[in-house]
Structures are given as structure tokens and as C-alpha cells.
């Protein structure tokens, strides 16, 4: 195939610059927090567009890019989503979760009320495209769609934080109502509801910590 490959566009940094960039990026990401106290202040769509374009740079199985991002600003749709999400959450907190799950969640201080779904200016519903359908009605399977969508979502969260906005990874369970409300095709499964905006001035977050490097990483060095 002609033009199947092209030269890699690559910029190599000096050792010092690499150290500094890795450290600076970690410091920037370390300040990201999942936020539940949102201001109703509007967010510029071109910022959201660039964050979604960043998500779209993610690697994916066979480059099938098996994701879709629905951006919701319409207050009526946001409210419809809130009502559907709260109905599921009431069942979850009233018994479906079970005591062990609720005990594990307790430090986050969450409950079935989700006012941020009305208040925050932008909701991004992320869908995993498990398969697409061609013009003859055949199902075309996407490979590693869940992993790919997870990676894209991570890049989206990073881009939103880097832009100076805050987000909440919200997973009302089950989330099938999102497919219906947002009119998504049958091959797509709702993956996550990302709430995006500015924090309130007095926003609070749980006092919780991230694990240390030696708790999340094991090393197998080349000792010659």
C-alpha cells in the first residue's frame, strides 16, 4: 500500500529537560481533585472542544477510536439526566450497593442527591462503541473498546484539569438511561458521565491521599 507509513514527528529532549518536564507534569496533575461543588458559571465551548480533541488522540485497538462524547449544556436535558441518575442512585444507596460498598464509599461523603447535574454548565457523556453497523446492517466489532475508551477518558480528564476546569467522574449505575436520553446507537454503551465546570469558591474535597510510588510500582532493574 502506497503511503502506508510516514516519518515519525518526534522531538527529543535533553536529559535535564526531560527530568523537568516529567516533574512539572506530575506536579500539575497532583493538584487534580474530583470535585462535587460546581459553580453555574459558563464554560467556553472551544475549550471543551480542544479537551475532546485531546481525548481523541488516545491510542485505540486497531485505531478504531471506539468512543463518542455527547456534550450537554441544555438545562432541560441536564435535568432529565439528573432525575434519571438520582432514581438509580436512590436504589443504590437504599440497598443495591450493599453494606460493604457503602462502607468503602463513606470517606467520599456521597449520597443519592446529585444537584451538580443541574448546576454544572457542561456534562460530557462518554460512550464506548462496542461495535458499529455498516450500510448492510453487519456488526463491525471494535477491539479493546473498553480499554481504549478508558484511555481516552483519562486524557480528557487530564486536558480538562490542564485547562483550569474541574471535573467529576460520575457513574450512576446502571447508566442505560443516557443512551436513551441522548439517542445513541445500539452498539454504544454508556461508559462514564463527566461533570465539568468551575468549582464554587467554598468547594470542599475529601481529605484522602494517593498511594506512594512503592505501593503502585515494582521495579525489575538491569543489574548487568
Which residues contact ligand IYR by CB under 6 A? 89, 92, 105, 108, 110, 170-173
Q: Which is nearer to ligand IYR, 187 or 196 (CB)?
A: 196
- Cβ within 8 Å of residue 133, ≥6 positions away: 139, 140, 185, 186, 187
Taking the complex as a whole, how short is the minimal distance between the CB of residue 218 and ligand IYR, in angstroms? 25
Q: Which is nearer to ligand IYR, 38 or 92 (CB)?
A: 92
Q: Which is nearer to ligand IYR, 65 or 123 (CB)?
A: 123
Q: Which is nearer to ligand IYR, 65 or 195 (CB)?
A: 195
The CB-nearest residue to ligand IYR is 110
Sheet with 122-129, strands from edge to edge, namely: 67-72, 122-129, 188-197, 166-170
Categorise residue 17: left if φ over 0, alpha if ψ from -120 to 50, beta otherwise.
Answer: alpha
Cell of 223: 543489574
Taking the complex as a whole, how short is the minimal distance between the CB of residue 105 and ligand IYR, in angstroms? 5
3-state secondary structure of 152: helix
Taking the complex as a whole, how short is the minimal distance between the CB of residue 168 and ligand IYR, in angstroms? 8
Amino acid at each position: 500500500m502506497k503511503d502506508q507509513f510516514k516519518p515519525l514527528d518526534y522531538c527529543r529532549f535533553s536529559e535535564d529537560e526531560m527530568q523537568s518536564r516529567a516533574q512539572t507534569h506530575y506536579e500539575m496533575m497532583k493538584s487534580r481533585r474530583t470535585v462535587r461543588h460546581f459553580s453555574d458559571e459558563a464554560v467556553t465551548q472551544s475549550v471543551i472542544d480542544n479537551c475532546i480533541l485531546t481525548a481523541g488522540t488516545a491510542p485505540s485497538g486497531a485505531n478504531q477510536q471506539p468512543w463518542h462524547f455527547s456534550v450537554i449544556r441544555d438545562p432541560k436535558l441536564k435535568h432529565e439526566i439528573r432525575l434519571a441518575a438520582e432514581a438509580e442512585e436512590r436504589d443504590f444507596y437504599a440497598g443495591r450497593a450493599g453494606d460493604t460498598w457503602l462502607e468503602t464509599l463513606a470517606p467520599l461523603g456521597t449520597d443519592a442527591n446529585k444537584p451538580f447535574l443541574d448546576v454544572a454548565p457542561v456534562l460530557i457523556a462518554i460512550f464506548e462503541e462496542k461495535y458499529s453497523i455498516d450500510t448492510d446492517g453487519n456488526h463491525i466489532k471494535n477491539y479493546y473498546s473498553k480499554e481504549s475508551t478508558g484511555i481516552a477518558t483519562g486524557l480528557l480528564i487530564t486536558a480538562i484539569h490542564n485547562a483550569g476546569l474541574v471535573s467529576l467522574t460520575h457513574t450512576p449505575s446502571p447508566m442505560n438511561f443516557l443512551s436513551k436520553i441522548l439517542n445513541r446507537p445500539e452498539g454504544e454503551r454508556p461508559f462514564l458521565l463527566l461533570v465539568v465546570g468551575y468549582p464554587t469558591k467554598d468547594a470542599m474535597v475529601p481529605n484522602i491521599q494517593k498511594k506512594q510510588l512503592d505501593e503502585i510500582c515494582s521495579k525489575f532493574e538491569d543489574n548487568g
